[in-house]
Amino acid sequence: MIIEHKIVIADIKLVADFQRYILYWRKRFTEQPVTDFCSVIRINSTAPFEEQDNYFLLCDVLPEDRILREELQRQRLKEILEQQQQERNDTSFRGSCMFCSEEFLGNRSVLLNHMAREHAFNIGLPDNIVNCNEFLCTLQKKLDNLQCLYCEKTFRDKNTLKDHMRKKQHRRINPKNKEYDRFYVINYLELGKSWEEVQLEDDQELLDHQEDDWSDWEEHPASAVCLFCEKQAETIEKLYVHMEDAHEFDLPKIKSELGLNFYQQVKLVNFIRRQIHQCRCYGCGIRFSSKADLRIHMEENKHTSLLPERKIWDQLEYYFPTYENDTLLCTLSDSESDLTPQEHNEHVPIISEDTSKLHALKQSSVLNQLLLQESLKS
């Protein structure tokens, strides 16, 4: 169009449906002269008249063009929301995990939640994503080409790629890659605005309307997940009730009976998480092929409450969470009242002496007094 017809379309990337846009103006140009719609740009204006050239700029300064662009944007948003709703209600989804090849049937959220929970790979809430199948195929193709999804470097083999993504915590997509924008509903909300610009506007609006009165503040806590199943609860109290009723596991009672402090609770939770993740019963040590089989076994044999000896789970390795951002760990009690008198004494801080003046230190050190007392006793 530029070369053959000298027509320039401004901000072409902001046109939601380019094909419909072109068809509309093709029809209008047959009805009226191009100059009725376009601004005329003359180049080489200082050259002789026969060497001068005119270009025609079609942009949204023209009200008709602006209305057309907005209408195309609304139509595209309507189509995207209809597609999203269809995917949300679809129960015929079939897909495999990109990291463990486990296959999932039903709704797309099952697979997305699995990858977020089991592999710490979170591409966003299922309800925020559209054209999910195409999105997953795009990501799978990158992995098949041995390309890291975050830094987008290419590696020599699959194992090297897996180690890289795990060690560098690159199990996430690159937010700067515009290729992914079309898979998020937020990018269709406003004409010409990306998700980053929309978020910046929201943040700025909050800053502009900040008030000193926080009396109407409503906290929305993140959901905590059950140790044995996929159940989520908005409060830790509800989760405790669920685990006791459904799995006969009473964490507050165990904490009280065993006298667990905060760090011991953390290690116990991480230990149980890891055993369940590995489909292993911590009560008898038997390993199962699926979590469903493990759960049936533990509930039938009442092994959920059959904890192993303390030395098994009270290990340094269980300071580290099995799942990233495990909300249950954030809700454990860490009050000083949980500590026994002996534990209080164990945590008395020791302040070292100033060693910057070593000679003076040797003369005034309390160790001199202890040595003198020892020599007197001798």
Tell me if 72 sits within 8 A of 87, measured CB to CB.
Answer: no
Q: Is the dihedral of CA 310, 316, 318, 321 positive or negative?
A: positive
The region of weakest confidence among 122-131, 308-317, 342-351 is 342-351
Segments in the chain forming alpha helices (H): 2-5, 18-31, 63-89, 108-119, 132-144, 158-167, 195-208, 236-247, 251-258, 262-277, 291-300, 310-313, 327-330, 341-346, 358-364, 366-377
DSSP 223: P
User: Taking residues 337-353, what's their average pLDDT?
Assistant: 45
User: Taking residues 146-162, what's their average pLDDT?
Assistant: 92
Instruction: Decide if pLDDT at 351 tops 50.
Output: no
User: Taking residues 311-324, what's their average pLDDT?
Assistant: 82
What pTM does this model have? 0.48
Write out the two tokens for 254: 């165990």
CA-CA distance, 95 to 253, in Å (whole number)? 41
Instruction: Decide if pLDDT at 370 tops 90.
Output: no
The dihedral region occupied by 166, where left means phi > 0, alpha psi between -120 and 50, and beta the remainder, is alpha
Write out the two tokens for 373: 């007392």
Give the pLDDT band (50/70/90) at residue 350.
Answer: very low
User: Taking residues 47-69, what's their average pLDDT?
Assistant: 86
Mean pLDDT (the chain) is 81
CA-CA distance, 75 to 270, in Å (whole number)? 49
The region of weakest confidence among 170-179, 254-263, 313-322 is 313-322
Residue 284 CB partners (closer than 8 Å, separation 6+): 301, 303, 306
User: Taking residues 74-91, what's their average pLDDT?
Assistant: 91
Instruction: Decide if pLDDT at 361 tops 70.
Output: no
CA-CA distance, 171 to 180, in Å (whole number)? 15
Q: How far is CA 53 from CA 37, 41, 59, in A?
A: 18, 8, 19
Percentage of the chain modeled with pLDDT above 90: 35
Give the pLDDT band (50/70/90) at residue 66.
Answer: very high
pLDDT digits (tens, 9 = 90+) for 185-240: 888 877 666 656 656 655 555 556 555 555 555 555 567 889 998 888 878 888 89
Give the pLDDT band (50/70/90) at residue 294.
Answer: very high
Report CA 14 to chain centroid distance, whole Å.
28
